[in-house]
Structure 1
Amino acid sequence: MTGICDGRVVIVTGAGRGLGRAHALAFAAEGARVVVNDLGVGLDGSPGPDSPAARVAEEIRAAGGEAVAHGGDIATSQGAQSLIATAIDAFGRLDTLVNNAGFLRDRMLVNLDEDDWDAVLRVHLKGHFLPLKHAAAHWRSEAKAGRTPRARVVNTSSGAGLAGSVGQGNYSAAKAGIVGLTLVAAAEMGRYGVQVNAIAPAARTRMTERTFAQTMAAPGSGFDAVAPENVSPLVVWLGSAASTGVTGRVFEAEGGRITVMEGWRPGPTADKAARWTPSEAGDTALELLADAEAPQPVYGAR
């Protein structure tokens, strides 16, 4: 297999199903050697009877590609470290890390247990941080040894992290945190040849099947707008050497649409050059808000 990732070694976490599986297969189709990570758990994070990682790795090999499976918990330092080691031991290098693993425990805030908060933050946010940390340490060592990589990291945020989502306070907080982590990592790791970007995908997976249950392809088009495979081409490009110069960015990807998200920017401002009184601050805030753009609506808000 040859393509824009020919010869690159790519890790995809949470790659046993859904978006991760689609990404792993798409990278392999473009010539990458793939480490397929999946712990094999249910939607709520509880252990499943077996991990699908080996099945996806076998699917890649059956198509003529190269892949190995990794079943470790990437939200632990040991699991994340072993993930990076698996790529290097199996293929001798690491070029791209795609952080994708996650699950849901949706509740309204008044019903959200502390354990459900901790579990979602652990898998999504810590599960991004630890593989990134160990991959970055490897790439920094390579750069210091005079072998500056053309490394890529693609993190997975969500529209819930960009705008919020009713009933998903834990998930929204984790996904917003991933955006912040992406920006910091891009700024810190650029000197070592590492580019870091994030996607906010919308696709039908186990996590979103209820949301997209009524979404159908346009009659006669043959195009399934919510198939996870629609997101993967952008991820593959971001994970390839062809994306040189693109870092610290967030993209929305859904169906055939790609959007560059522009994030927080200074809007209307006022400077008294002295301390405001509370009344003055309030009056000024209202004047500024009148000139400001309205925020995006929170998903699920009425």
Structure 2
Amino acid sequence: MDEQICAGRTVIVTGAGRGIGRAHALAFAAAGAKVVVNDIGTTLDGAATDETPAQQVVAEIEALGGQAVANGDDVADWDGGRNLVRQAVDTFGGLDVLVNNAGFVRDRMLVNLGEDEWDAVVRVHLKGHFVTMRHAAEYWRGESKAGRQVDARVINTSSGAGLQGSVGQGNYGAAKAGIAGLTLTAAAEFGRYGVTVNAIAPSARTRMTETVFAEMMAAPEEGGFDAMAPENISPLVVWLGSAQSASVTGRVFEIEGGKVALADGWRHGVAVDHGARWNPAELGPVVADLIAKGVPPESVYGA
């Protein structure tokens, strides 16, 4: 049994019916948390099904002696996000941690990408993070104003596709980059209420990655360490959800297998101040010099 570093805490995990989200839900339960398992049971591209993966995960948690409840709200729907937070508070008496994980992909080269494919992916990833954070933050602000101590956490899910770009995933990458930026803003705004906000950019074998990285993410031989198992991602998320992480906020962590890295993000780079408006014809050598002095960008995945 894992050390119970989240004992007594109530946690929402979105998209927790399968893959990384399921691993998060089970890991939080093992760490002593009460878990709201959110999942609407869609296919890889977001189409509705009759499956009930959230309830199956709840059954797994209860079989291990934990406490959990299933939720089927759409996280990108305004009322759905409100209901999700309300269910956590009504069922378990409060909310301490929000893990935004839900999402799906509709991969296509930009030149072939349809408007509906763009809107659907940006909606569930980026708006889905905003909606749940908005309603959770409203609850935490109310608690803080009422004089009750808040020690809450938000853990968002970005991606290397958002941090470095990924060929064939323009919609997904843009949404994930937006989540990284949203995390920074939320961290700056929510701190006054006793809430930290961080993000992870995980790399693991899931329904969304198994076809894209099939060879790289192959399972190991029996007895070997499976570096691509989704369960490898959850220890960091559980720690970020615990009281131990109170001093960490506004950060993005890359995690794969047993490796954890702190993503550097966009920073102000080398600069040249002309002291006046530039003439366009002057800028060629200036830009060339800036690029020569700067740090080369990371390679785009698939380029």
TM interval, short-chain normalised: over 0.9
* C-alpha deviation, 1:148, in angstroms: 2.5
* C-alpha deviation, 1:21, in angstroms: 0.1
Q: Which residue of the partner structure matches residue 276 of structure 1?
A: 278
Deviations 1:29-57 (A, max 9, x none): 00000000001000111101222100001
Alignment check: 8 A CA contact 1:26 1:236 kept:
yes
Deviations 1:147-201 (A, max 9, x none): 1210000000000000100000000000000001100000000000000000000
* C-alpha deviation, 1:219, in angstroms: 5.8
Does residue 91 of structure 1 match 2:92? yes
Mapped to 2, the partners of 1:115 and 1:180 lie a distance apart of 24
Does residue 63 of structure 1 match 2:64? yes
TM score, norm. by length of structure 1: 0.97
| Superposition map of 1:108-187 within 5 A | 108-187=109-188
Alignment check: 8 A CA contact 1:14 1:37 kept:
yes
Deviations 1:86-112 (A, max 9, x none): 101110010000000000000101100
Q: For 2:249, which of 247, 250, 258 is the aligned residue?
A: 247
Question: Which amino acid letter does the alignment assign opposite residue 151 of structure 1?
Answer: A
* C-alpha deviation, 1:213, in angstroms: 2.1
Question: Deviating runs (4+, > 2 A) in structure 1?
Answer: 215-221
Mapped to 2, the partners of 1:212 and 1:57 lie a distance apart of 30
Deviations 1:124-162 (A, max 9, x none): 001100000000000000000001210000000000000
Does residue 225 of structure 1 match 2:227? yes
Q: Please state whether the residue corresponding to 1:226 is helix, strand or coil.
A: coil
Q: Which residue of the partner structure matches residue 47 of structure 1?
A: 48
Question: Which amino acid letter does the alignment assign opposite residue 32 of structure 1?
Answer: A
Mapped to 2, the partners of 1:48 and 1:225 lie a distance apart of 30
* C-alpha deviation, 1:220, in angstroms: 7.2
Mapped to 2, the partners of 1:168 and 1:216 lie a distance apart of 21
Change beyond 3 A, Cα 1:63–1:219? closer
TM score, norm. by length of structure 2: 0.97
Calculate percent identity across the aligned residue pairs: 65
Alignment check: 8 A CA contact 1:41 1:51 kept:
no
Q: Please state whether the residue corresponding to 1:154 is helix, strand or coil.
A: strand
Question: Which amino acid letter does the alignment assign opposite residue 282 of structure 2?
Answer: E
* C-alpha deviation, 1:279, in angstroms: 1.7
